Chains A and B, each alone.
Chain A
Amino acid sequence: MRKVYTNPALCSGCRACSVACALVHFGIADDALGAIQVVRDPLQRYEYQTVCRMCEDPECVAACMAAALARDPETGRIIVDRDRCIGCWMCVMVCPYGAVVASERLGKAIICDQCFEREQAACVAACSTGAIQMAEAEDTAGIAE
């Protein structure tokens, strides 16, 4: 199971990852549509990435009342069925990592799919500082159990 890891200490805050993600998944350049987000505040002096941690027992899936979210047991990724998602943000409410992107514009949740169809995740390829890596990983323990 491959998984995207991030390191805020190496993040320069440029958001190339978010744009690359949006290009792959929507064909639109817009960092707001990236499943990986860079939270940055130049005044408070920080920048860090948020992206799905691929919980083994994901709270977001449990919380989804529209049955729009599912965990693919083979790849471990969280699949968002955008036709079903109603933008109720129950998943947002329970994600311990703040990694569900609540897109008011789409009215849908955006969650990292690990670019499973690509050799390399778009965000990893776009990062110029080595702040994002993709690696084989053990499951992240679910938070609930």
Chain B
Amino acid sequence: MQDAIGNMRSRLAEIDLTAGTVHYEDTPPAVVREFLGGRGLNVAYLHRLLPAGVDALSPENVLIIGAGALTGTGCPNSSRFNITTKSPESNILGDANCGGFFGPKLRYSGIDRLIIRGRARQPVLLRLGDGRVEILDARAYWGLDVNDTQAAMRRDFGPTCESICIGPAGEVLVRFACVMTGVKNAAARGGMGAVMGSKRVKAIVATGGVGLEIADPDGLLALNEQIKDYLLDSSIVKVLGRVGTPLLYEVSNHLGTIRTRNSQDSSFVSTLDAEVIHEHVTKMISCHSCVVHCRHRNIHQGEGPEYTTIGLLGANLGIGDTEEVIRLNDLVNRLGLDVSSTGGILSWAMELYQRGIIDASLTGEPLQFGDYELVVRLIHSVARREGFGDVLAESSHAAARLNDPERKYLIAIKGLPQSDPHDCRYIKAFALGIATASRGADHLRSRPTLEVFNLPKDLLREIYGTDIDDDPTSYNTKEIVVATHESIYAVIDSVGICKFICHGFNSPKLLKYEHFSQLLERAFRASFSVADLQAVAHRIIDLERAFLNREGIRRPDDTLPWRYFEEPLPNGVAKGHRIDRAKFQEMLSRYYRLRRWDADGVVPQERVRELLAAWDDGSGA
């Protein structure tokens, strides 16, 4: 088994904060072989270590931070790592993928994965370097915002250190607090920051000192260069490198699918178009080893905004002023809040106020869409759990207090507000994707963007291996579309490469299984065929689902916000479209069959046993 993974290192540090101890070991090669790294190995560990029903904010929860198999190797866009835990926002799988510079530095510090358990008595930080982890006093940093914390890390651990940290929101356990690195990179979704805060870990700082041994450096460099040149020739990479993700705003807006005022509308102003945003940008910058440089250093504050921010803090809150959206973006980043949930929860409250379902006796003041100053106040109060902010900080758990117990007006699935600013009533595959995504309403698990491209049929057949219905509003064959994307994204998240240069996310071309296979071969002499990688993807998706099943997730949870079924889209090309309940259920059944889950969306027990078998192989090896 060691031969199969070559010299790929998968070094683990298990930190018990209650006891103050650190234990080191290597992940068994048989397990690496089956789950690769990043998201895959993280969920393998989470499933193994966390029993069902644990309170996500209790010391018993397990916080796992793992780099992808190719993270830090220098191959294009290999910056990414995953944080995986039980989410305090959704109470199911919490798993967030993040770029920046921390992932590579984690590996250069001689560690590929951290498993953090227990709870420290007082604020601590973890220092990683020279293959070791130290638990240090972090009381001096507690209370600092994200930027100030990282400035302090640079001061105290040297200018080449890289850190992840929580802001004030994580400290007070806001259920959608994120973990940040750099000015805007976030392991955003699912309340990773609240879990870190519950363990009283303010920051994790990596200083390097070990590096990552590469089996065939010249071969890898040659392949990297070839891939880089191929990517730079791609028009989508060029576009992303110039304007970044905001370009998607116009696409959604044009279709009449940009979530506006809590999805009561579906088109919004053009002052948030990519070209307008671009006027506010001084330089495009990169994550580690990135050839795209999609990150905006803007002229106001911070970096961004991304499409998600423009959508959820812009259109979704009825704010159309470019600079205001950019400032809101920086504010949530500094405080350590997830942009998507912040926007989704605030707009939910605003609509409830608008409908008279709640009033000023709860909110303290009128809530109006489009009121920038109000939004700034609310964000501050959420991040510190003050006043009405303390209610909103509970995210979807606030349903009863917000007098919307069925969450009728919350655009969320499985308790997680929807991240994609795209209204999924139009493109049915998008709807199936967010309904079944393993961490709740999330587009990064399966989003089949190719649906909007009008690709020729022969190309579609090549991509999906069968004929599919090329009408994005059709329900037919969309389970195949979703499963195909879901699979490759699982591998992408496990090798630690950015989706922007990968097949399926923004383009029918770019990097595919074949590329990952070659890269793993050059980097570690690890032999993973395309079929092997697809099998890895299959395992990850099944094990994530098994984790969800164990937490009680069944077919009725794989659904969509009420509005997506009941109200047709009001604007644009997509006007009149909604999701048909019966057709949705049929699509869902077909998806389960394709995944070989039962009719209730449960992974068969024998499959689960099969997924766990590698641990026994590994310990015996």
Contacts and interface: CB of A to CB of B under 8 A. Distances in A.
Interface of A: 9, 12-16, 19-20, 22-24, 26-33, 39, 41-43, 45, 47, 105, 122, 125-126, 128-129
Interface string B101-112: 100100110000
B494 interface: no
A76 to B, nearest CB: 24
Contacts of B150: 43
Which has the most chain B C-beta neighbours within 10 Å: A9, A43, A126, A128?
Answer: A128
B289 A15 contact: yes
A122 B74 CA distance: 12
Contacts of B104: 29, 31
Contact of B214 (A29, A31, A128): A29
Interface stretch (B10-18, B218-226, B400-408, B582-590): B218-226
A41 B225 contact: no
Given A12-B286, A129-B293, A30 B212 contact: yes
Contacts of B291: 14, 16, 128
A94 B228 CA distance: 37
Which has the most chain A C-beta neighbours within 10 Å: B209, B225, B282?
Answer: B225
Which secondary structure dominates where chain A touches chain B?
A: mixed
Contacts of A24: 217-218, 221
B182 interface: yes
Interface of B: 72-74, 76, 101, 104, 107-108, 147, 150-151, 154, 159-160, 182-183, 208-214, 217-218, 220-221, 224-225, 228, 232, 282-293, 297, 303, 523
A13 B285 contact: yes
A31 B108 contact: yes
Contacts of A30: 72, 108, 208, 210-212
A12 B208 CA distance: 21
Closest 3 CB pairs of A and B: A30-B211, A19-B74, A128-B291
Nearest to A14: B286
Given A16-B290, A20-B74, 10 more contacts: A14-B287, A14-B293, A16-B76, A23-B214, A27-B213, A29-B212, A30-B72, A105-B209, A126-B74, A128-B291
A42 B184 CA distance: 9
Contacts of B183: 42-43
Contact of B285 (A12, A31, A33): A12
A87 to B, nearest CB: 15
A125 B286 contact: no
13 contacts: A13-B286, A14-B288, A14-B290, A19-B73, A19-B289, A22-B211, A24-B221, A29-B74, A31-B288, A32-B108, A42-B303, A43-B154, A47-B285
A23 B293 CA distance: 22
A32 B214 contact: no
B297 A15 contact: no
A13 B182 CA distance: 12
Nearest to A25: B217
Given A19-B289, A126-B225, A126-B228, A42 B182 contact: yes
B19 to A, nearest CB: 30
B359 to A, nearest CB: 42
A92 B427 CA distance: 59
